[in-house]
């Protein structure tokens, strides 16, 4: 019934979709297996993409030829560039999306992808022989052979849904859990554990009084995520901000004795940076209110997502507390919030390619590795799909370094440090974040992706055009002199000090209060020279001029750290022979088995003296 495939992807969430698209677009005959064809690319939690650091990841996925940025742009109902008041390293795009349209566009793009087949069934086991994964066994008993398998099971592995004192098996509300895989992998020597996540109630937007809330409109200019010319919405829908108060908190507290989290019925650790409302009230008892974001689920639905009100309290407690929120007095609830507990596999069991160390040809991506968030899952799926394809062709994997991309930071953190709680990306995790901005992901990653065959010619042509345009703009600014009378009126209106002598235009751009686009529009000479360049290239040139000193310092730091990254540790290095290493360091090095001295230095519990000992020993 089934041919032999190059790559099988199990699960069609954000990780699975990107993995399947990447492998198929690279030329692998690919099979995407999902338990429900109607929930491909489901936004299980909030209907939004991007945000702090997450927006950078989506742009990186797009720059490499992934689909998430395109689908986000095609389905967005609101766009905002977060942190615009800070430096460019902190700018982070975020989109509110139409939940149903997002899934629809993903499925359409996947169905138009050559080399990609679909099958609806549960995968209950893997075909294993001689330490290699050779395919999967489905719930219907089909054995499907493949050169490589990517598991992207999300929250479905032995998933349990909790609402108050009720609990039942499920990977999402009204969807059954998947069993068999965890048990088989543990039997093969893998380590597994439990995590939990949660989601808030969904409510009827017609029952809300928005006059009691703060409106949060989108930006006037919609930049979007994709570097391609993807159609953006001409209109946007507003979100709204509401607040809990002491009356809401008092009602929520009445359900604490029936909370699965407080009663100990949930063993898994939840996300630190996205806690449930009951957890927030408990941990921050001194705060008398918490902010809520009231987010529409799409263009043509009245369903609303109450961001910030994630909960697993009893349904009647949720409803009573919602009614006390100003503007929610007549609220109607479509669905209660719930928590979900699921299996994951600590990611120290993976190589940088996301292939498992214990079993060749098997790759993990997404929440199975302990991450949380669509964007974190999608970028892992992209890399797992790329490397599963390359493994099937017996080609070296593609590894992104920490200095290459946020994707590289995420994978290195997971592989080197592991995680005991759902891992979420932040800008603070990236030590080279001035280099890893959302505006230059294409300049960083597209050429590399083009070389190994994922990014297409159109993307490469755009990058070449952008590079050339930025270089020309910078040259013109550095070589064009301006007289005081040409710019002083504008500088004074801007509140910036006037100049007293002729200056190169690039010197003016260095001022913190000068935006290059506004400068060009205000100065006729610059308008004549630069007015025909596109806004993206102008912004990029301005950033490169203004932050040149900081960028050079980070590049120097990258260069220095590269020496550590180039010192490779032999694959079968015997740490037991180094008597001067402490027991903890030896155990952690044996468990993670770092590929380089740089990776060893980032393992939790490894201190600088351990690295020095390793360096000396390797030198001998």
Residue 375 lies in a domain: no
As to burial, measured by CB atoms within 10 angstroms (0-12 exposed, 13-18 middle, 19+ buried), residue 495 is exposed
pLDDT at 313: 96
Asked whether residue 474 is domain-assigned, the answer is yes
Backbone phi and psi for residue 225, each to the nearest 5 degrees, phi listed first:
-115, -35
Report if residue 444 sits inside a domain: no
- Residue 199 and residue 351 in contact, taking contact as beta carbons nearer than 8 Å: no
Q: What is the distance of C-alpha 274 from the center of its chain?
A: 15
Q: What is the mean pLDDT of residues 261-282?
A: 82
Q: What is the pLDDT of residue 576?
A: 87
Q: Read off the pLDDT of residues 382-423 as tens digits, 9 standing for 90 and up.
A: 999 999 999 999 999 999 999 999 999 999 999 999 999 999
Q: For 25-39, what is each residue's pLDDT tens digit?
A: 999 999 999 999 999
User: Strand, coil or helix: what is 32?
Assistant: strand
What contacts 541, CB < 8 A, 6 or more positions away?
Answer: 469, 470, 473, 474, 477, 516
What pLDDT does residue 519 have?
A: 96
Residue 539 and residue 608 in one domain = no
In the block, tokens 């554990």 appear at: 193
Across the chain, what does the average pLDDT equal?
A: 94
From CA 304, how far away is CA 238, in angstroms rounded? 12
pLDDT in tens, 460-492: 999 999 999 999 999 999 999 999 999 999 999
Beta-bridge partner residues of 48: 96
Is the residue at 416 inside a domain? no
Place of tokens 């913190």: 512
- Is pLDDT at 264 greater than 80 in this prediction? no
User: Percent of the chain, pLDDT > 90?
Assistant: 85
Please check whether residue 131 lies inside any domain of the structure: no
Contacts of 544 (CB under 8 A, 6+ apart): 470, 474, 551
**Count of structural domains within the chain:** 3
Percent of the chain exceeding pLDDT 70 equals 100
- Assess whether 517 and 582 both reside in one domain: no
Q: What is the CATH number of the domain that holds 593?
A: 1.10.150.570
Residue 96 lies in a domain: no
Q: How confident is the model at residue 617 (pLDDT cuts 50, 70, 90)?
A: confident
Tens-digit pLDDT profile for residues 151-200: 999 999 999 999 999 999 998 888 999 999 999 999 999 999 999 999 99
Q: Is residue 186 part of a domain?
A: no
pLDDT(585) > 60: yes
Q: Are residues 529 and 591 in the same domain?
A: no
Can you tell me the distance from the alpha carbon of 364 to that of 351, in angstroms, rounded to the nearest whole number? Answer: 10
d(CA 205, CA 303): 6
List phi, psi (to 5°) of 311: -160, 155
Name, in order, each residue with C-beta under 8 angstroms of 233's C-beta and a sequence gap of 6 or more.
Answer: 76, 77, 79, 222
Domain edge (last residue) among 550, 584, 608: 550
Cβ burial, residue 531 (10 Å; 0-12/13-18/19+): exposed
- State pLDDT tens for residues 206-261: 999 999 999 999 999 999 999 999 999 999 999 999 999 999 999 999 999 998 87
Measure the CA–CA gap between 114 and 405, rounded to whole angstroms.
28
Contacts of 289 (CB under 8 A, 6+ apart): 243, 244, 245, 246
Q: In terms of domains, do 535 and 588 share one?
A: no
222: tokens are 């919609």
Same domain, yes or no: 543 and 574:
no
- Strand-pairing partners, residue 454, are none
492 and 615 in a single domain? The answer is: no
268: left (phi > 0), else alpha (psi -120 to 50), else beta? beta
Q: Are residues 481 and 580 in the same domain?
A: no
Do 422 and 375 form a contact (C-beta atoms < 8 A)?
Answer: no
pLDDT in tens, 70-128: 999 999 999 999 999 999 999 999 999 999 999 999 999 999 999 999 999 999 999 99
Higher pLDDT, 265 or 84: 84
CA distance 123 to 362: 14
Same domain, 210 and 309: yes
Alpha helices, H only, 304-456: 315-322, 374-392, 406-417, 441-452
Where helices occur in 427-504 by DSSP H, the ranges are 441-452, 457-479, 484-494
**Rounded mean pLDDT, 42-53:** 96
- Alpha helix segments (H runs only) across 76-170: 99-111
Q: Per residue, what are the HEC states of 347-371?
A: HHHECCCCEECCCECEEECCHHHCE
- Per-residue model confidence (pLDDT) at position 579: 84
**From residue 371, how far is each of 217, 419, 457, 529, 600 by CA, in Å?**
30, 8, 33, 48, 22
Q: Is 608 a residue whose pLDDT tops 80?
A: no
240 shares its domain with 324: yes
pLDDT recorded at residue 259: 87
- Whether 119 is in a domain gets the answer no
Supply the range of the domain harboring residue 334: 202-341
pLDDT given at position 573: 85
**Is it the case that residue 620 has pLDDT exceeding 70?**
no
The length of the chain, given as a count of residues: 620
Whether residue 603 is found in the same domain as residue 504: no
Longest dimension (CA), the chain: 82
Give the single-character DSSP code of 194.
E
Domain boundary, last residue among 311, 341, 371: 341
Confidence check: pLDDT of 273 > 80: no
Considering the domain architecture, whether residues 614 and 586 belong to the same structural domain is answered as yes
Bridge partners (DSSP) listed for residue 338: 199
CATH number at residue 233: 2.40.30.260
From its phi and psi, is residue 569 left (phi > 0), alpha (psi between -120 and 50) or beta?
Answer: beta
- Does residue 259 sit in the same domain as residue 332? yes
**Global confidence as pTM:** 0.94
Which of 550, 578, 603 marks a domain boundary? Answer: 550
Q: Looking at residue 506, which CATH number applies to its domain?
A: 1.10.10.1800
pLDDT computed for residue 239 by the predictor: 98
Give residue-wise pLDDT tens across range 505-559: 999 999 999 999 999 999 999 999 999 999 999 999 999 999 999 999 999 989 8
């Amino acid at each position: 019934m089934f041919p032999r495939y190059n790559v099988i992807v199990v699960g069609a969430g954000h990780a699975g979709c990107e993995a399947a698209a990447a492998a198929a677009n690279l030329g692998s005959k690919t099979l995407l297996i999902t338990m429900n064809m109607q929930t491909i690319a489901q936004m299980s939690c909030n209907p939004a993409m991007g945000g702090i650091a997450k927006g950078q990841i989506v742009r990186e996925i797009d720059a490499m030829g992934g689909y998430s940025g395109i689908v986000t742009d095609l389905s967005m109902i609101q766009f905002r560039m977060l942190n615009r008041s800070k430096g460019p390293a902190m700018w982070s795009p975020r989109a509110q999306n139409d939940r149903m349209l997002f899934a629809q566009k993903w499925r359409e793009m996947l169905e138009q992808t050559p080399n990609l087949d679909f099958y609806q069934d549960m995968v209950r086991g893997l075909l294993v022989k001689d330490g290699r994964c050779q395919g999967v066994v489905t719930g219907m008993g089909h054995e499907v052979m493949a050169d490589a398998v990517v598991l992207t099971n999300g929250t479905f592995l032995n998933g349990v849904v909790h609402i108050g004192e009720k609990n039942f098996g499920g990977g999402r509300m009204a969807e059954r859990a998947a069993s068999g895989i965890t048990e088989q992998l543990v039997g093969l020597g893998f380590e597994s554990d439990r995590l939990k996540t949660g989601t808030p109630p969904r409510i009827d937007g017609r029952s809300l009084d928005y006059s009691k809330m703060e409106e949060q409109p989108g930006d006037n200019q919609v930049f979007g995520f994709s570097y391609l010319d993807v159609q953006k919405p001409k209109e946007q829908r507003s979100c709204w901000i509401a607040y809990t108060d002491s009356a809401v908190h008092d009602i929520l507290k009445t359900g604490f004795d029936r909370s699965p989290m407080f009663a100990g019925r949930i063993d898994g650790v939840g996300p630190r940076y996205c806690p449930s409302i009951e957890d927030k009230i408990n941990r921050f008892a001194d705060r008398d209110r918490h902010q809520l974001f009231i987010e529409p689920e799409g263009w043509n639905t009245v369903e609303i997502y109450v961001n910030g009100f994630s909960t697993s309290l009893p349904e009647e407690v949720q409803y009573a507390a919602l009614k006390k929120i100003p503007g929610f007095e007549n609220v109607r609830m479509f669905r209660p919030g719930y928590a979900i507990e699921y299996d994951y596999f600590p990611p120290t069991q993976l190589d940088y390619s996301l292939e498992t160390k214990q079993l060749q040809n098997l790759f993990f991506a997404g929440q199975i590795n302990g991450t949380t968030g669509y964007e974190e899952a999608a970028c892992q799926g992209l890399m797992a799909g790329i490397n599963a394809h390359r493994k099937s062709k017996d080609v070296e994997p593609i590894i992104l370094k920490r200095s290459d991309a946020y994707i590289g930071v995420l994978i290195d953190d997971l592989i080197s440090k592991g995680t005991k709680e759902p891992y979420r990306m932040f800008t603070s995790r990236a030590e080279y974040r001035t280099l890893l901005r959302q505006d230059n992901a294409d300049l960083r990653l597209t050429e590399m992706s083009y070389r190994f065959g994922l990014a297409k010619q159109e993307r490469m042509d755009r990058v070449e055009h952008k590079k050339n345009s930025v270089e020309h703009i910078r040259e013109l600014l550095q070589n064009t002199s301006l007289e005081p009378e040409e710019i002083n009126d504008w500088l004074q209106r801007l509140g910036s000090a006037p100049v007293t002598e002729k200056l190169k235009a690039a010197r003016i751009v260095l001022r913190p209060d000068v935006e290059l686009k506004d400068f060009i529009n205000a100065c006729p000479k610059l308008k004549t020279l630069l007015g025909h360049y596109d806004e993206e290239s102008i912004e990029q040139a301005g950033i490169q001029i203004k932050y040149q000193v900081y960028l050079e310092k980070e590049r120097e730091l990258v260069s220095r750290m590269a020496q550590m990254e180039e010192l490779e540790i032999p694959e079968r290095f015997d740490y037991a022979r180094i008597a001067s290493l402490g027991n903890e360091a030896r155990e952690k090095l044996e468990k993670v088995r770092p590929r380089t001295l740089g990776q060893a230095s980032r393992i939790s519990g490894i201190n600088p003296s351990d690295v020095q000992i390793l360096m000396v020993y390797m030198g001998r």
